[in-house]
Copies of this chain bind each other. A is one copy, B any other.
Amino acid sequence: MYQFKNDYSELACEEIMQALMKYFNEQNIAYGLDKHSENAERLILEKFNSKNGKVFFLNGGTQTNTVFISYVLRPYEAVISLETGHINVHETGSVEASGHKIITVKGKNGKIYPRDIEKVILEFNNEHTVKPKMVYISNSTEIGTIYNKEELVNLKTICDKYHLYFFIDGARLGSALTSKENDVNPEILGEICDAFYVGGTKNGLLYGEALLINNPDLARDFRFHIKNRGATLAKGYGVGIQFERAFKDDLYFSLARHTNEVASYLKEEFKKLNIKMLDSPTNQIFAFFSSPIAKKIIDNFGVEVWYQENDIYCLRFVTSFNTTNKDVDELIAYLKDNI
């Protein structure tokens, strides 16, 4: 059976693999100083309209988050995140291991709002507490929701007010920006935050994340820091080739759009079966099942339990570049036979 466990269970889409194949024995300068990385950087800066930005290629979300956050913050400074933020719950204390506290807020619908930040600023106000200095959000969020333009602008405004850096985890940025409900143009991302990353691993690339630092003050010695954290890729051109390909003809976005479309199809089919779901316009669908059927679904389709309350399971179904409507049909058929 096709597994709806996550969007990184398959190596890479065919176009990316072919791009790598094409250059497999071409000599390139190491450490990301090659022409493919340069092309990829240019394409990304253009796409997101970053005037003074720089792009750095890293290899995975946790690494990107930690390397960037630990570069920006001074030792006594902290990052504000949702309680459910990826850095707070799924990165084995990586940010703390780099020496920094994560200040958590509750937020709503998987999103942080200015009132959450105001509260932190009031509370962390003297030298016996850490100094809040960055706001970390994910788009799409951990529960598949997306920020709209107004929400991002409001966060930017409050960050400016309190001299906080604004950083967006874009592990699933593709699915956010190609969601039907999205009103955020890629072009505003080059301005609205100090940095964000464009996730490759969860969107059809073999590996690699493109960190775009809009704020030049935060990019200066960043290559030293990447190496210092053991994150420099000797064959950096390997990521360069992939992102060059992904941004050449908007492949990156068509891959993401596909995941959303299959997810939409899945949602419609679930609705027909009267399955209760959280509201998610992207490629992660959270649906509720009672205990016996939930366990069967987990066994057969590899989905994760997001949380459980008594006998009710909230299961996460994720679609990838490789998921098809036919895979959904098989899932639905199974459900019909087993509910």
A interface residues (Cβ-Cβ under 8 A, vs B): 2-3, 5-6, 8-14, 17, 20-21, 23-31, 59-63, 65-67, 70-71, 74-76, 78, 89-94, 96-102, 127-131, 201-202, 206-207, 221, 223-225, 227-235, 237-238, 241, 322
Residues of B within 8 A of A131 (CB): 221, 224
Residue on B with the closest CB to A61? B234
Report the bound CA distance from A293 to B54 in whole Å.
Answer: 37
Q: What is the oligomeric copy number?
A: 4
Contact B97 A228 (CB under 8 A): yes
Contact A92 B63 (CB under 8 A): no
> What would be 22 A-B contacts, judged by CB atoms less than 8 Å apart?
A2-B27, A9-B28, A10-B27, A11-B23, A11-B25, A17-B21, A20-B20, A59-B233, A60-B234, A76-B97, A76-B224, A78-B93, A92-B227, A93-B130, A96-B96, A96-B100, A96-B130, A98-B99, A99-B99, A201-B235, A206-B238, A230-B231
Nearest-neighbour CB distance to chain B for A90, whole angstroms, equals 5
Residues of B within 8 A of A91 (CB): 128, 227, 230
Give the contacting residue for A224; candidates B3, B92, B233; CB below 8 A: B92
Report the bound CA distance from A73 to B153 in whole Å.
Answer: 34
Interface-centre pick from A230, A232, A234, A235 (highest chain B CB count, 10 A)? A230
Nearest-neighbour CB distance to chain B for A311, whole angstroms, equals 17
